[in-house]
Amino acid sequence: MAGKKITNKIDGWLALDKPEGMTSAHAVNRIKGLLNPKKVGHGGTLDPLASGLLPIALGEATKTVSYVMDGVKVYRFTVRWGQATESDDREGAVIRESDARPDAAAIAAVLPRFLGEISQRPPAYSAIKVGGKRAYDMARAGAAPEMAERRVVLHDLRLLAVEDADHATFECTSGKGFYVRALARDLGDALGTPSHLWALRRTRVGGFHEHQMISLETLESLGHSPGALEHVLSVETALDDIPALALTDTEANRLRSGQSVSLLKRSNLERLRELENGDTVCAMTGGRAVALARFEEGDIRPVRVLNL
């Protein structure tokens, strides 16, 4: 009888620079095979066409994945004018063409209309379920899924360069559930020409930034050496946007055991100054996260205990 596979106790995040042409699932499997953590997951899928930041959670960090996925994201992307494709990116078949090409002034003029909270129709080739089926499965089978518009947020959109008549490069900062492929399509519609996403690179996800990224090639060259672990970021990196609340050791032990902590004493008023009822906090002690907790009616109640 084969013995149970031995795994490594690794808790934290890798800011992986996912290469173009690889699925997010394949990237996760490569990391799993390399570091052999007890648990592994990722904070926000990147299409195979895209490259860039794919935060990969190891061990206890998997408990914080949802907070990463809710964070803002920054993308650099290139739009190809004059052609619409069935997938809204360069991997799909061309379904419509035009000789019309926008200049830099025309492009800049339409950008403000995409800022703020807007309605967006997701691409037909997406993982959204329509009638219980994945939209991309329906599209590949020749059906035309009805993609309902949804409300999304675009915080910033800038034109970086016009490479030539056919291509322009942008940078955008978006909220959760935003499709850059749909933006590339809609920019062309606003400019009177079909268009699609030509290239895409993600440079930020929540508290993770471009300068923290490491390539698969570098990680694999380090192998199982201590050098590989030097690139593992703390679990708390994913929680930069969540208020931190310092606890005493006694309070921390109560949270670890699943019990709530009352903070109604007058001596705690300073700690509660920035909190509102229902807020999620990162409970800390000794500079280390203890739990994700919720502030309710003067109590801190554990949501996810972190065994660090």
> Residue 147 belongs to a domain with what CATH number?
3.30.2350.10
**Same-domain pairing of 278 and 250:** yes
Give the per-residue pLDDT at 307: 86
* CA 98 – CA 88 distance, rounded (Å): 15
Assess if residue 5 is contained within a domain: no
**Same-domain pairing of 292 and 263:** yes
Give the per-residue pLDDT at 1: 43
- The segment with the largest mean pLDDT, out of 100-109, 232-241, 297-306, is 100-109
- Catalytic pick from 11, 17, 47, 186? 47
**Same-domain pairing of 234 and 179:** no
Give the per-residue pLDDT at 189: 96
Assess if residue 289 is contained within a domain: yes
278-295 tens-digit pLDDT: 888 888 888 889 999 998
Q: Which domain holds residue 232?
A: 12-71+207-238
**Same-domain pairing of 64 and 88:** no
Assess if residue 2 is contained within a domain: no
**Same-domain pairing of 226 and 169:** no
CA atoms within 13 A on the CB side of 272: 19
Share of the chain above pLDDT 70, in %: 87
pTM: 0.87
**Given the structure tokens 């907070």, which residue do they identify?**
67
For residue 305, what pLDDT band results from cuts at 50, 70 and 90? very high
Give the per-residue pLDDT at 96: 95
- Residue among 63, 82, 58 at smallest CA distance from 8: 58
* CA 116 – CA 154 distance, rounded (Å): 5
**Same-domain pairing of 105 and 150:** yes
The DSSP secondary structure of 116-166, one letter per residue, reads EEEEE---SSSS-EETTEEHHHHHHTT-------EEEEEEEEEEEEEEETT
Where is average pLDDT lowest: 21-25, 155-159, 192-196, 219-223?
219-223
Q: Are the C-beta atoms of 298 and 269 separated by less than 8 Å?
A: no
Assess if residue 228 is contained within a domain: yes
**Same-domain pairing of 116 and 192:** yes
Give the per-residue pLDDT at 140: 65
Does residue 4 carry a pLDDT above 80? no
* CA 28 – CA 64 distance, rounded (Å): 16
Assess if residue 133 is contained within a domain: yes
Over residues 94-111, the mean pLDDT reads 97
Domains identified in the chain, total number = 3
**Same-domain pairing of 103 and 181:** yes
**Same-domain pairing of 175 and 223:** no
**Same-domain pairing of 114 and 162:** yes
47 a catalytic residue: yes
Share of the chain above pLDDT 90, in %: 56
Assess if residue 220 is contained within a domain: yes
For residue 268, what pLDDT band results from cuts at 50, 70 and 90? low
Assess if residue 93 is contained within a domain: yes
Give the per-residue pLDDT at 287: 84
**Given the structure tokens 């019990």, which residue do they identify?**
259
CA distances from 34 to 5, 46, 51, 67, 271 (A): 14, 20, 20, 25, 42
Assess if residue 211 is contained within a domain: yes
Does residue 166 carry a pLDDT above 70? yes
Does residue 81 carry a pLDDT above 60? yes
First to last CA, the chain: 32
